[in-house]
Amino acid sequence: MRSVNYIEYHGLMLPKESHNADSLQYFEKLSVMDNDVIVITYPKSGTTWMQEILPPLLHGGDLTTVQTIPNWDRVPWMEETRASLVMDKLHSPRAMVSHMPYHLMPPTFFTSKAKVIYVARNPKDVSVSSFHFHKMASFLDDPGSFEEFIDKFLAGNVFFGKWTDHVKSWRNPDLGDRILYITYEEMIQDLRGVLERILNFLGRQLSSEALDCVVNNGMFKNMKTNSMSNYSLVPEDIMNSKTSPFLRKGIAGDWKNHFSAELNAKFTAVIQEELKDTNIKFPWDEE
Ligand code: PPS
């Protein structure tokens, strides 16, 4: 909390660049609607990817908003400063994203029937992606060395706190069948299959041709060239893509290029310990 770059919200560090008292008050008072679709992610887990694929899935395959509206206004973060400016402009059903843990969601979320898509990613790859993001984003603390950053990550001294707390909070049984759990790794392996699961969960259909277009548009190499999704609209003094592009590698397993054997053992032990009293299992557990 000591850094000038963050404000504290219920014990979480949030970047001042995109969060303030007004945006958090807006978040708390937000009227969540029954047909809203909310994507929940711990940062660096596939948020931007979902901002790319959800609008055409919800709107008959139409790619117009993906080609004309920046991702942060197209599928806004509920807690960020842009939310109050764009929320009323969203087409129904609205799609929005949030990095918040379950217990901090606004009161109307709990009384609504809004559906939730939770995207998880191997925390080792999340930490690598976050490390590079901290280097390129001037509004975040300098990450220090990779090893130093991993210590902060494991301790939860990073924006939105500990990865394990986030994952655990969203396993709340009260969510019932309102929530669909997917992983970044499944999207890498079989994007079409994941999109079909999402359509099924949302009770929607798309023609095979329209789905092909959504898949194609959501491919990493195509998102890289979409100025509405690659953060090139952000001034270089805020996000310096020469240091590291926002859409950096877009792969699963890049952690293997960053972790020593010792660091890997330490990381695995901490995560396992913090999840040991849960029944949460992930495809990367055996790696
Ligand atoms: S943020 O800052 O929380 O919104 O970041 P987020 O969008 O959640 O995560 C950024 C990482 O997601 C990768 N990404 C993709 N990977 C594969 N395919 C597609 N289409 C795609 N879109 C975004 C992005 O490259 C970041 O991961 P890294 O590992 O840094 O490349």
Over the stretch 29-64, which tens digit does the pLDDT of each residue have? 999 999 999 999 999 999 999 999 999 999 999 999
DSSP 156: T
Residue 1 pLDDT > 90: no
Determine whether the shortest distance from the Cβ of 45 to ligand 1 is under 6 A.
yes
Q: What CATH number is given to the structural domain containing 116?
A: 3.40.50.300
Name the pLDDT band for 7 (thresholds 50, 70, 90): very high
CB atoms within 10 A of CB 126: 21
Dmax over CA atoms of the chain, in Å, equals 52
Place of tokens 């790696």: 287
**pLDDT given at position 179:** 98
Average pLDDT rounded to a whole number, residues 69-92: 98
Q: How far does residue 203's CA lie from ligand 1's centre (Å)?
A: 26
Label residue 216 by pLDDT band (50, 70, 90): very high
Residue 1 lies in a domain: no
Q: What gap in Å lies between CA 34 and CA 31, rounded to an integer?
A: 10
- Does the pLDDT of residue 137 top 60, yes or no? yes
Expressed as residue numbers, the domain containing 39 is 6-286
- Give the integer Cα–Cα distance in Å for 60 and 169: 32
Residue tagged active-site, from 99, 132, 134, 166: 99
pLDDT at 111: 97
- For the cut 90, the answer to whether the pLDDT of residue 95 exceeds it is yes
Give the position, in ligand 1's atom list, of the atom nearest the Cα of 244: 30
The residue whose CB lies within 8 Å of the most ligand 1 atoms, and thus the one to mutate among 41, 49, 160, 192, is: 49
**H or E, element range at 265:** helix 261-275
Among 14, 44, 100, residue to substitute to test ligand 1 (most atoms within 8 Å of Cβ)? 44
Is 76 near ligand 1, meaning CB less than 6 Å away?
A: no
At 77, phi and psi to the nearest 5? -75, 130
Determine, yes or no, domain membership for 271: yes
pLDDT digits (tens, 9 = 90+) for 223-281: 999 999 999 999 999 999 999 999 999 999 999 999 999 999 999 999 999 999 999 99
Q: Tokens representing 244?
A: 């590291």
Interhelix angle 261-275/146-155, nearest 10 degrees: 10
Average pLDDT over residues 112-116: 98
Residue where the block lists tokens 């000591």: 2
Q: How confident is the model at residue 76 (pLDDT cuts 50, 70, 90)?
A: very high
Residues pairing with 108 in the sheet: none
Task: Answer whether residue 71 is part of any domain.
Answer: yes
Confidence of residue 286 (pLDDT cuts 50, 70, 90): confident
Q: How far is the CA of 273 from the centre of ligand 1 (A)?
A: 27
Long-range contacts, stretch 135-138, CB < 8 angstroms, 24+ apart:
135/243, 135/244, 136/239, 136/240, 136/241, 136/243, 136/244, 136/245, 136/246, 137/17, 137/238, 137/239, 138/237, 138/238, 138/239, 138/240
Burial 24-53 (b: 16+ CB within 10 A, else e): bebbeebebeeebbbbbbbbbbbbbbbbbb
Would the CB of 55 count as within 6 Å of ligand 1? no
The answer to whether residue 237 sits within a structural domain is yes
Residues 154-169, mean pLDDT to the nearest whole number: 98
19 classed as catalytic: no
- Measure the CA angle with vertex 118, ends 21 and 72; round to 5°: 45
In a domain? residue 250: yes
Q: How confident is the model at residue 220 (pLDDT cuts 50, 70, 90)?
A: very high
Total domains present in the chain:
1
Q: What pLDDT, on the 0 to 100 scale, is given for residue 118?
A: 98
Spatial distance between the Cα atoms of 34 and 108, rounded to a whole number of angstroms:
10
Distance in angstroms (rounded) separating the CA atoms of residues 96 and 145: 34
Pocket test for ligand 1, best of 247, 248, 249, 257 (most atoms within 8 A of CB): 247
49 lines ligand 1 (CB under 6 A): yes
Is residue 233 domain-resident?
Answer: yes
Q: Could you give the CA distance from residue 205 to residue 198 in angstroms, rounded to a whole number?
A: 10
Measure the CA angle with vertex 285, ends 284 and 287; round to 5°. Answer: 65
**Tokens coding 137:** 């984003």
Q: Please tell me the predicted confidence (pLDDT) of residue 287.
A: 76
